[in-house]
Amino acid sequence: AQKVTQAQTEISVVEKEDVTLDCVYETRDTTYYLFWYKQPPSGELVFLIRRNSFDEQNEISGRYSWNFQKSTSSFNFTITASQVVDSAVYFCALKGGMRFGAGTRLTVKP
């Protein structure tokens, strides 16, 4: 079975705080890809990152960073020095089966 779990339904932080969004996945595939998407209030999903199962190197892009740990089947997303514009729903996805997590709503307060 393929499944993605985002245990945090909602997170609220104050601007400039760091915040980590958790993602745990299940798959029997040996090759798979994991994604993070952002859905701002406008509704359209915006692609943030893709990671394949053979590459466990962490990635940093500006204030965003991702920690992929195959041993714990986790692909966590950290926003450093959060800003109000980061407020959105964030989805983790497992492409092999096109499965998405339930999403985490992040609210960043000024």
Partner 1 sequence: DVKVTQSSRYLVKRTGEKVFLECVQDMDHENMFWYRQDPGLGLRLIYFSYDVKMKEKGDIPEGYSVSREKKERFSLILESASTNQTSMYLCASATTGVGNTIYFGEGSWLTVV
Nearer to partner 1, 24 or 45 (CB): 45
CB of 91 to partner 1, least distance (A): 6
Alpha carbon distance 17, 96 (integer Å):
33
CB of 99 to partner 1, least distance (A): 7
* Residues making contact with partner 1 (CB under 8 A): 6, 9, 31-33, 35, 37, 42-45, 47, 50, 52, 91, 93, 95-96, 98-103
CB of 100 to partner 1, least distance (A): 4
Joined tokens for residue 86:
């980061």
**Residue environment code for 51-64, b if the CB has 16+ CB neighbours within 10 A, otherwise e:** bebeeeeeeeeeeb
Nearer to partner 1, 50 or 109 (CB): 50
Nearer to partner 1, 79 or 92 (CB): 92
